Amino acid sequence: MKQHTVTDSPYGPLTLVADDGVLCGLYMAGQRHRPPQESFGPRDDSLFGEAEEQLGAYFAGELTRFRLELRLDGTPFQRSVWAGLRRIPYGETRTYGELAAELGAPTASRAVGLANGRNPIGIIVPCHRVIGAGGGLTGYGGGLDRKRRLLDLENGTPVSALF
């Protein structure tokens, strides 16, 4: 059974969704490809303490790797892309083409981009760490401003300086 909570963050409210107690969604306000609110199940603020604690530590610059059980529902290709995202180290970026090559599909950068855009657990599965071939910021379901601020956070800019 799905349940959700809404938690505050320096990037606006975040909706956390769990299925049978396992985190399966993290959505930002106004996010592209955000499922309908009614699909998140009833609100239960008691289930998400560990996720909220780790997110708080991440936003404070104290956590560089999340250690949460996740349920990533998608096609086998999407799940391989999302696993690849989790291997990109904190503070680093990859291009869509580099990620495609790492997955053994060097000509699949567009497909990687589409899978990246469907990532159901933003921030924790760091799709913000993927950039365009020329190094520019491209597409981010949470908006390019949030993507820039998340990358700045990981490169040592304090969250308070990002506003």
Instruction: Say if CB 39 and CB 91 are below 8 A apart.
Output: no
State whether 54 and 80 are in the same domain.
no
Q: Residue 49 pLDDT > 60, yes or no?
A: yes
| Tens digits of residue pLDDT in 108-126 | 999 999 999 999 999 999 9
Strands (E), 44-137: 94-95, 130-131
Asked whether residue 69 is assigned to any structural domain, the reply reads: no
Asked whether residue 14 is assigned to any structural domain, the reply reads: yes
Q: What number is the average pLDDT over the span 75-81?
A: 97
pLDDT of residue 132: 84
Q: What number is the average pLDDT over the span 81-100?
A: 95
State whether 55 and 99 are in the same domain.
no
| Tens digits of residue pLDDT in 132-158 | 887 778 777 677 888 899 999 999 875
State whether 144 and 93 are in the same domain.
yes
Strand pairing report for 22-28 and 14-19: antiparallel
Q: Which of 66-80, 87-101, 121-135, 139-153 has the lowest mean pLDDT?
A: 139-153
Structural domain total, the chain: 2
Domain that holds residue 38: 2-59
Q: What angle do CA 43, 26, 48 make, to 5 degrees?
A: 50
Q: What number is the average pLDDT over the span 43-67?
A: 95
Q: Which amino acid is at 154?
A: E
Q: What number is the average pLDDT over the span 47-70?
A: 95
Identify which has the larger pLDDT, 32 or 40: 40
State whether 86 and 154 are in the same domain.
yes
Q: Provide the terminal-to-terminal Cα distance of the chain, rounded to the nearest Å.
A: 37
Asked whether residue 124 is assigned to any structural domain, the reply reads: yes
State whether 90 and 53 are in the same domain.
no
pTM equals 0.90
Q: Which residues are catalytic?
A: 127
Name the band, by pLDDT with cuts 50, 70 and 90, for residue 51: very high
Asked whether residue 68 is assigned to any structural domain, the reply reads: no
Q: Residue 161 pLDDT > 70, yes or no?
A: no
Q: What number is the average pLDDT over the span 49-63?
A: 95
